[in-house]
Amino acid sequence: MSERQIQLEVLRYNPETDSEPRYQSYSVPCLNEWVVLDALNYVKDNLDPTLSYRWSCHMAVCGSCGMMINGEPKLACKAFIHEYTDQIRVDPLANFPIERDLVTSVEDFITKLASVKPYLIPKSDQPVSAGEFKQTPAELKKFKQYTLCINCMLCYAACPQYGLVPEFLGPAAISMAHRYNQDSRDGGRDERQEVIASDEGVWECSFVGACSEVCPKHVDPAGALQQVKVASTIDWYKEHLMPWMKK
């Protein structure tokens, strides 16, 4: 296991003492198999206990440690040191307000996620005692990919539309609505449509596709959003050109 001395440039910001963020450099002896998160932990334990960042699972499933690594949205626990040169720049997740150091504000995302009704609105009521809803493997596969979102918000950091128009619901929230819309057990699409087929919803997306490129779980939010657009367009045509088709 080889060791390398890495210069870690970390954006620091403490609202109580700083008027604006500044970079601070740390020299960290890193094992080649380390991830950037390990380097940050080294800093926290050995060099500077005042550095703040979020992390937990260290296996890319809890979604806590999203940050910009050399300008790219990444999970710090899945950004391998061996893929970088000896100089690594770490910024808080782009497009989100910085609370402190690498900690950004999550509230906007949570509010948006909640607004799309990201829960099953069953087609038909069935008591638990009647057993499970049947769902074939094919029906499951239709939406499975969109269930894999870990809410890490990397897609929002990659999305220029979100950066320019903060009201945009954004990739993860709309993908989650799509996930439930595609679920054979769900009948709540009409309720969600009011939110996601709005100006701040899917039509704000111009299909840059960056969200899908940075998604650590290959959810492909960009694909989900285009599917929502296609379905919403079909809705519009049905409503305006074929009003008799309306339910």
Within positions 205 to 234, which residues make up the interface with other proteins, using CB under 8 A? 206-210, 212-213, 220, 222-223, 226-227, 229-230
Q: Does 133 bind other proteins (CB under 8 A)?
A: yes
Q: Does 128 bind other proteins (CB under 8 A)?
A: yes
- Window contacting other proteins (CB under 8 A); options: 22-30, 147-155, 195-203, 233-241: 147-155
Please check whether residue 60 is in contact with residue 29, taking contact to mean a CB–CB distance below 8 angstroms: no
- Identity of the residue, 88 or 214, whose beta carbon is nearer to other proteins in the bound complex: 214
User: How far apart (Å, rounded) are the C-alpha atoms in residues 157 and 159?
Assistant: 6
- Window contacting other proteins (CB under 8 A); options: 22-30, 97-105, 197-205, 234-242: 97-105
Contact residues for 191 (Cβ-Cβ < 8 A; gap 6+): 117, 121
User: How far apart (Å, rounded) are the C-alpha atoms in residues 13 and 22?
Assistant: 7
- Identity of the residue, 6 or 229, whose beta carbon is nearer to other proteins in the bound complex: 229
- Identity of the residue, 8 or 94, whose beta carbon is nearer to other proteins in the bound complex: 94
* List 83, 126, 233, 237, residue binding other proteins (CB under 8 A): 126
**Token pair 């050995």 is at which residue?**
46
* List 103, 198, 200, 203, residue binding other proteins (CB under 8 A): 103
Using the CB atoms, write b or e for 143-153: b if 16+ within 10 Å. Answer: bebbeebbbbb
Instruction: Extract the tokens encoding 58.
Output: 């260290």
Given its phi and psi angles, is residue 60 left (phi above 0), alpha (psi -120 to 50 degrees) or beta?
A: left
Q: Does 89 bind other proteins (CB under 8 A)?
A: no
Please check whether residue 169 is in contact with residue 229, taking contact to mean a CB–CB distance below 8 angstroms: no
Kindly tell me the burial class for residue 166, based on how many C-beta atoms sit within 10 Å of its own C-beta (0-12, 13-18, 19 or more).
middle
What part of residues 49-88 is at the interface with other proteins (CB under 8 A)? 49-64, 71, 78, 80
Q: Does 99 bind other proteins (CB under 8 A)?
A: yes
Q: Does 29 bind other proteins (CB under 8 A)?
A: no
What are the beta bridge partners of residue 74? Answer: 67
User: How far apart (Å, rounded) are the C-alpha atoms in residues 100 and 191?
Assistant: 37
DSSP 61: S
* List 5, 85, 141, 240, residue binding other proteins (CB under 8 A): 141
Q: How crowded is the C-beta side of 178, counted as CA atoms within 13 Å?
A: 31
Q: Does 187 bind other proteins (CB under 8 A)?
A: no
User: How far apart (Å, rounded) are the C-alpha atoms in residues 224 and 212?
Assistant: 10
- Window contacting other proteins (CB under 8 A); options: 134-142, 167-175, 195-203, 236-244: 134-142
Q: Does 156 bind other proteins (CB under 8 A)?
A: no
- Identity of the residue, 6 or 101, whose beta carbon is nearer to other proteins in the bound complex: 101
* List 8, 39, 101, 202, residue binding other proteins (CB under 8 A): 101
Q: Does 1 bind other proteins (CB under 8 A)?
A: yes
